[in-house]
Structure 1
């Protein structure tokens, strides 16, 4: 099954959110917010989010983490690899503390998408700065 680029980006966010045992309502709300405000999702019907998220979880259960990531990465053009990584980071930092599982997943995403280390460091620093509390 081939995914659209938008669905593939959602798969990456869902897999990131579920890497620490499950997707919280807060993480799902962040994913919805990212979809609503990110230009890469222009034209995406937000009513489809639940179905796409469930499909991502089903695919993970069926093919495992590597299988679902292979499927998603195949549908993401190289010019959007840094975008995919940035979206994954945004979902990962929702909980403020990053468990080992999420850190490993982010490393896997970074390496498999071949995103430059300086770019990933900038994305991570930016996300940390946005999540700080006063």
Structure 2
């Protein structure tokens, strides 16, 4: 049987993994994760007190054998297809939070879009939208 978690947890695992991809979880990224969980409708029925425990569980999983592959599989197996682009958008949002995207974060985004089989136009639209929102004068 394939292990699954709730869609809330899968989306949080996505955000935690992109934040941890470069081995540095910045304050901006952590604040963004908290803000997204507090404000987005997809998390409306999520108990926000469980955020830290969920993030720690993801971190533990990432430390295990084939941790990144296991997390990607768990995300893909747990999310309904209609939330695949939401997961990618959240990952992009967290990656952009500190206004600098590292190579490791770009690599995770590539792995995520491949695992979720997202089409190029959807990916381009999500990435363009994040660039516009995070642009500085």
Query: Shorter-chain TM-score: which interval?
Result: over 0.9
Report the equivalent of 1:58.
60
- The answer for unaligned runs of 5 or more in structure 2 is none
Give the TM-score, by structure 1 length.
Answer: 0.95
By how many angstroms is 1:2 displaced?
Answer: 2.7
Report the equivalent of 2:22.
20
Contact 2:72 2:115 in 1 (8 A): no
Runs of 4+ aligned residues of structure 1 deviating over 2 Å after TM superposition are: none
Q: Distance in 1 between matches of 2:48 and 2:92?
A: 21
By how many angstroms is 1:105 displaced?
Answer: 0.5
Q: Distance in 2 between matches of 1:52 and 1:81?
A: 19
Report the equivalent of 2:88.
85
Report the structure, 1 or 2, having the larger helix content. Answer: 1
Give the TM-score, by structure 2 length.
Answer: 0.93
Report the equivalent of 1:9.
11
Q: Distance in 2 between matches of 1:30 and 1:117?
A: 25
